[in-house]
Structure 1
Amino acid sequence: MTRRNAWLYTFALFLLHQFIVIGGSFVFVSRHFSVPSLKEYLQYALIDNFVRWDSLWYIRIAHEGYRWDQPAAFFPLYPYLMGALHDTLGLSYRIAGLLIANAAFLLAIYLLLRLLAMDYPRETVVKALTLLVVFPTSFYFSAVYTESLFLFLTVGCFYCIRERQWLWAGVFGFFASMTRNTGILLVLPFLYEYLADKKFQWKEIRADILLIGLIPAGIAAYMILLYTKIGDPLGFVHAQKYWKRSFLWPWATVWQGTWDMLFKPRNGWIRKHRLIEAGIAYWEILLTGLSLWKDRLRLRWSYSLYLIAAVTVPLLSPSPLNSYFYSIPRFAVVIFPLFVIWALLLRQNRWLIPVIVISIVGQWYLLDKFTTGYFVF
């Protein structure tokens, strides 16, 4: 895929994303709120509606930094970038956060198109990106959340790995692990692809393998920051107590989460919330398993290693008092190999259209709930 074609597809997919998300926001804000003027309506639909829940933590960190332990659960790159735009350009934290999120998603689409085109035909690549754009939780790519930035940095790392640009791969990995703790998982594809490039001959290994250390260095830098600010380098781990997260083996999380969903009486949105969380958790586990079983769904081993780790990690830290599959539908949207497998599975276009329609309807349903103030993963 040429750069020109990649950019054309990028803008087409980004516009589709904007149409779904911004169009839905206009409809749902109009439906649920009585806004006194057109200016306030536009501000609410375009800005305020995408600043909820975790967004407020990022804005707080951008404004005042880390003064106590609870904000440590949120990694620093995104809020610090927001603060930098606020200080240099005079943008509000909200506008800065939205600008970063949307720009990062645009770049993530482009890099993902170029990355996947190394291994798959154009039809499969575009299909995978379309499935990503319409996924029910993809509206987070346009919210003041880290999804867009993390996806961009993750894909950038993979792209540089495939291009054998080890230094740049390490740089992308460094910033990815300053955005989310799961950024450290990029060590796996880096190491595999490096060794594969050397034909797994130990005598061929050079000093540039040490560049892999840049990836965990991102978390190390955050630990140093936390030590200087709150005196606890593991503050991002200890802060999980505020969300009632605890350790559990993945199979136990799946079992307990299924039991919780089926047999604990709940009504209304809470029950639907649990059903959606469980459904997407099963979906990602199923696709991962199929990719390891079916030859036609098999990925590069570097993608599979990252996929297995990225699917497993959230299952290690459920929040039993909130949900065993806590936030998994939002975490899943940045695991790009899932959408490659899904595209390969939907070879026949007669299945693709219904899946896209159902996904868009699901995204609008969740965005409607998000607009009315419900916690959506």
Structure 2
Amino acid sequence: MLTEKWLVGSSRWTVKNIFEIFVLWRLFLLLIALVVPVFFELQDNFIGGGRQLYIQNPLFWGHVNFDGEHYLAIAQRSYRDLEYFYFPGYPLLVKSITQLISSSVTVYAVVGLLISHLSFFLTLVGFYKLVKLDFKENVAKWSLIALLVFPTSFYFASFYTESIFLMLVIWSFYFARKKMYLFSGLLGAFASATRLVGVVLLPALFWDKTKLFKKVSLVVVPTGLIIYILYLNKVTGDPLEFLHSVEIFGSQRSSTLILLPQVFYRYIFKILPSLDYSYFPVILTTFLEFSVASVFSALTVLTFFRLRPSYAIYTTLAFLIPTFSGSFSSLPRYVLVLFPAFILFGRWLSTCRKFSRIVFIAGSALLLTVAFGLFFRGFWIS
């Protein structure tokens, strides 16, 4: 049972306990998926598998909506024009496994979702162990809870890169903390082949007191990105095609550098005042973007005072890089991989008053319910 005593008690969590809370989170998402058709109509422009497959099995294909469709297509038949924005690590892994089994699109989707679910469970195990290196039991527990109830945590159960990327980041940091730099570097290399911000592991992991020569194996971290750049140069003639094509994913995004204060200015004086306040999904998405940007800007600053320098470096760079496109679009999803911010949430939840804790958890869970419900029915969230 998920009770207050179980969450904040002094007993250690085992892998079994972490699996139990993972299953509870997944059942919560399933419940949302079952009831949401009553509240939201289906938008079928970007649903997983296309309308026919989605209608046949929405509980499955609803996890492959939007970017999931792109990753699934890349896994099936490699890249086509306008898809180079999506890094190859995740779809390549899906393809490598699925080719041994079947060429069916359904099997591709099953393999991808299994990878996402397994990766997220391993993320939770690694996150718990990593937090325990610096903090008490309660902080580790509440850090996991904060991550699970975050409004966009449903992407961890989707055909997206969030699960596998965060798993690679967490365990890369963990092995670095244990002075196992070869393992750390190899995981970092795969992370940089999975998401652009994976490359920030290099400066973050180098920042500790260990002598430089002992960390030399960390130089392999950018290898994944470098290989992708070489591939793009060969097939498109533009080694940075993943940056130059960013504008096609939204009119707010730009391939030129735009600084964070400029993005806030855009939202405060241009985007928010011009919203269509009669259309709830757009209102929710836009205010979620702005709120997440504001909260995580503050948390990023706090990491320099409350957490290890390596965590602060990782959080700062991984937070800022997506905003340089000039938009907070997708930021509520991108911040899922900023694990140090969730450690700060965990520290606060472990010491705050019970009423504050209930309000935080209930509010986050409510937003998760609405956001996942909309996503599941084909509305853009992040």
TM-score (norm 2): 0.87
Which residue of 362, 366, 370 corresponds with 2:375? 370
How big is the shift at 1:231? 3.1
Residue 272 of structure 1 corresponds to: 284
Residue 202 of structure 1 corresponds to: none
User: In the alignment, is the contact (CA less than 8 A) between 1:170 and 1:213 conserved in 2?
Assistant: yes
For 1:6 and 1:239, the matched residues in 2 are separated by: 45
| Residue-by-residue CA offset, 1:144-201 (whole Å, 9 max, x unaligned) | 01010111011011011101111111001000000000000101221102xx123xxx
For 1:338 and 1:223, the matched residues in 2 are separated by: 30
Matched, 1:225 2:254: no
Residue 158 of structure 2 corresponds to: 143
For 2:98 and 2:130, the matched residues in 1 are separated by: 33
Matched, 1:329 2:336: no
Matched, 1:240 2:246: yes
Which residue of 174, 185, 196 corresponds with 1:181? 196
| Residue-by-residue CA offset, 1:326-369 (whole Å, 9 max, x unaligned) | 11100011111111111222322411122111111100100111
The answer for unaligned runs of 5 or more in structure 2 is 1-11, 43-52
Evaluate the alpha carbon distance shift between residue 300 and residue 62 of structure 1 in structure 2; reply closer, same or farther with a 3 A threshold: same
For 1:266 and 1:139, the matched residues in 2 are separated by: 26
User: Matches of residues 1-377 of structure 1 in structure 2 within 5 Å?
Assistant: 5-29=13-37, 43-45=57-59, 47-68=60-81, 70-90=82-102, 92-193=107-208, 196-198=209-211, 205-206=212-213, 208-243=214-249, 244=251, 245-246=253-254, 247-267=257-277, 268=279, 269-292=281-304, 298-318=306-326, 324-346=327-349, 347-350=351-354, 351-377=356-382
For 1:11 and 1:30, the matched residues in 2 are separated by: 30
User: In the alignment, is the contact (CA less than 8 A) between 1:134 and 1:356 conserved in 2?
Assistant: yes
Evaluate the alpha carbon distance shift between residue 25 and residue 290 of structure 1 in structure 2; reply closer, same or farther with a 3 A threshold: same
User: In the alignment, is the contact (CA less than 8 A) between 1:261 and 1:278 conserved in 2?
Assistant: no
Quick one: which amino acid aligns to residue 62 of structure 1?
A
For 1:360 and 1:22, the matched residues in 2 are separated by: 14
Aligned sequence identity (%): 28
Residue 321 of structure 1 corresponds to: none
The answer for unaligned runs of 5 or more in structure 1 is 199-204, 319-323
| Residue-by-residue CA offset, 1:243-272 (whole Å, 9 max, x unaligned) | 242220111112222223442242212223
How big is the shift at 1:85? 2.2
For 1:40 and 1:330, the matched residues in 2 are separated by: 23
Quick one: which amino acid aligns to residue 301 of structure 2?
G
Quick one: which amino acid aligns to residue 84 of structure 1?
S
Secondary structure of 1:326's counterpart equals coil
Quick one: which amino acid aligns to residue 74 of structure 1?
Y
Tell me which moved more, 11-20 or 107-116. Answer: 11-20
User: In the alignment, is the contact (CA less than 8 A) between 1:124 and 1:344 conserved in 2?
Assistant: yes
For 1:316 and 1:118, the matched residues in 2 are separated by: 33
How big is the shift at 1:217? 1.1
Tell me which moved more, 309-318 or 329-338. Answer: 309-318
For 1:170 and 1:330, the matched residues in 2 are separated by: 25
TM-score (norm 1): 0.88
For 1:343 and 1:124, the matched residues in 2 are separated by: 5
For 1:49 and 1:342, the matched residues in 2 are separated by: 29
Evaluate the alpha carbon distance shift between residue 158 and residue 137 of structure 1 in structure 2; reply closer, same or farther with a 3 A threshold: same
